[in-house]
Amino acid sequence: MNRVITFIKKNTVLCIAILAAIVTAFFVPPDGEYLSYFDFRTLTCLFVTLAVICALKNIRFFTVLARRIVRMTGNLRGAVLAVVYITFIGSMIIANDMALLTFLPLGYYILRDTGNERYMAFLFTVQTIAANLGGMLTPFGNPQNLYLYSYFAIPNGEFLQIMVGPFALATLLVTLCCLFLPLTPLSLGAGEDTKLPPLRTAYYLVLFALAILMVFRLIPYPVLLVLTPVALLFADRRALGQVDYGLLGTFAAFFVFSGNMARIPQVNEFFSALLAKNTLLFSAMSCQLISNVPSAILLSRFTEDYPALLMGVNVGGTGTLIASLASLITFREYTARCPGKGLNYLGIYSLFSFGFLAILLVACQYLFL
């Protein structure tokens, strides 16, 4: 029993996701359509990126990069802004979940090595919001964008015109949050600077570059699913054991939950009625329950107001932890690095995330639509 309790405490989000999937299975009994719920490409991207990130951690790549950022910026505000902007821009290129997997460790090492751990929850929160909102400007920046862009055949110019206002406001808000941090000078600990092993560093960075190409669909994901484990077996098999398989299980369980929700007739009827009243508001609110990608897929069948729907499912990525499943990555990372402080993080994250949601919704409704 003690082992069960320990497992639940350590994997709270995974247990909630599994429970949610089981509950919805009573309404939609398992059948052949369940296989269509799983986004195997996303799961593969997560696995490959996690594995390569673990290998880079093992050679202390992020420690070295963090120390260089500290030297370049010299103060807390500058260092945090640098990491947040890197995450923000990264989400436009490699999507929000990959950006968080890549750059959360960077923020952690900067604060740890300079003795500023008290700002960890704040930095992880702003990084998560930046990742969830940074990709809204482009069709390929977020999965829900790519789906709606294709489903409604939105012209490139019109897509940019719809999203440039919310994107500009999100950029301003993220920046303002960081500007409230003090200009505290940062000093590194007395530890020696780590020298990266050139060959292994290059080897892992090539694997990471291949992962990015996979994200851009330039390499079929089954290729990397085979290549990455084989490559790491020879270079660093520990990295394969360090992958957060609980996170992969959490995503898989939420795929079942959201897929079943979309197939419950009462849910469909409920959303149809709400969309008829205010597409922007209720698409954003639906994200709080079933996350933004399933919301985009589900709600696109009940409205032709794609500008409001597009804004809603992007802005709706803020709010609850499951509004964007990428946010679960941050929660897992934070609780793993700061045991026993999960509730503290949830409080700070909720305060900022719901604040962003409220401001962006009002602006979208009265300024950008």
The pTM (predicted TM-score) of the whole model is 0.76
- Rounded Cα distance between 19 and 233, Å, is 34
At position 212, the amino acid (one-letter code) is I
- 254: which residues sit within 8 A by CB, 6+ positions away? 17, 20, 21, 291, 322, 325, 328
Which residue from 105, 171, 106, 103 is spatially nearest to 135, judged by alpha carbons?
A: 171
Identify the pLDDT of residue 303: 82
Any bridge partners for residue 75, and if so which? 185
The answer to the question of residue 208 being in a domain is: no
| 224 pLDDT above the threshold of 80 | yes
Instruction: Confirm whether 262 is domain-assigned.
Output: yes
Q: Which amino acid is at 222?
A: P
User: How confident is the model over 253-294, as pLDDT tens digits?
Assistant: 878 887 888 788 887 777 777 778 899 999 999 889 878 877
Q: Answer yes or no: is 55 within a domain.
A: no
What token pair was written down for 366?
């009265």
At how many degrees (to 10) do helices 221-235 and 198-215 cross? 170
Question: What is the Cα–Cα distance from 49 to 61, expressed in whole angstroms?
Answer: 15
Residue 351 falls inside a structural domain: yes
Q: Pick the closest to residue 352 from 49, 138, 84, 165 (CA basis).
A: 84
Rounded to whole angstroms, how far apart are CA atoms 309 and 316?
10
- Please give the pLDDT value at position 329: 84
Is 225 inside a domain boundary? no
Q: What is the pLDDT of residues 197-214, one digit of tens each?
A: 999 999 999 998 898 788
User: Which amino acid is it at 133?
Assistant: L
Asked if residue 296 is part of any domain, the answer here is yes
**Residue 51 falls inside a structural domain:** no
Specify the DSSP class assigned to residue 320. Answer: S
Q: What pLDDT digit, counting tens, does each position of 178-200 carry?
A: 999 999 888 765 555 568 899 99
pLDDT digits (tens, 9 = 90+) for 34-87: 998 887 887 888 788 889 888 988 888 877 887 788 788 889 999 999 999 988
pLDDT tens per residue across span 310-364: 999 999 999 998 898 788 889 988 988 888 888 999 999 999 999 999 999 999 9
Counting other chains too, the contacts that 294-297 makes at CB distance below 8 Å and 24 or more residues apart are: 294/258, 294/259, 294/261, 294/262, 295/144, 296/144, 296/147, 296/148, 297/144, 297/147, 297/262
Domain ranges, residue 313: 8-37+60-195+244-368
How many folded domains does the chain comprise?
Answer: 1
Q: Which of 146-150, 167-171, 339-343 has the lowest mean pLDDT?
A: 146-150
- Among residues 122, 109, 113, 131, the alpha carbon closest in space to that of 77 is found at 122
- Contact (CB, 8 A) for 258 and 297: no
- Helices (H), ranges, the chain: 2-10, 12-27, 40-58, 61-73, 76-94, 96-113, 120-134, 143-151, 156-179, 198-215, 221-235, 237-242, 245-263, 265-277, 279-290, 292-299, 306-315, 326-337, 342-363
In a domain, 188, yes or no: yes
Please give the Cα distance from 87 to 91 (Å, whole number): 6
List, in order, residues 6 or more apart from 35 with CB less than 8 Å away.
none
- How many residues in total does the chain contain? 369
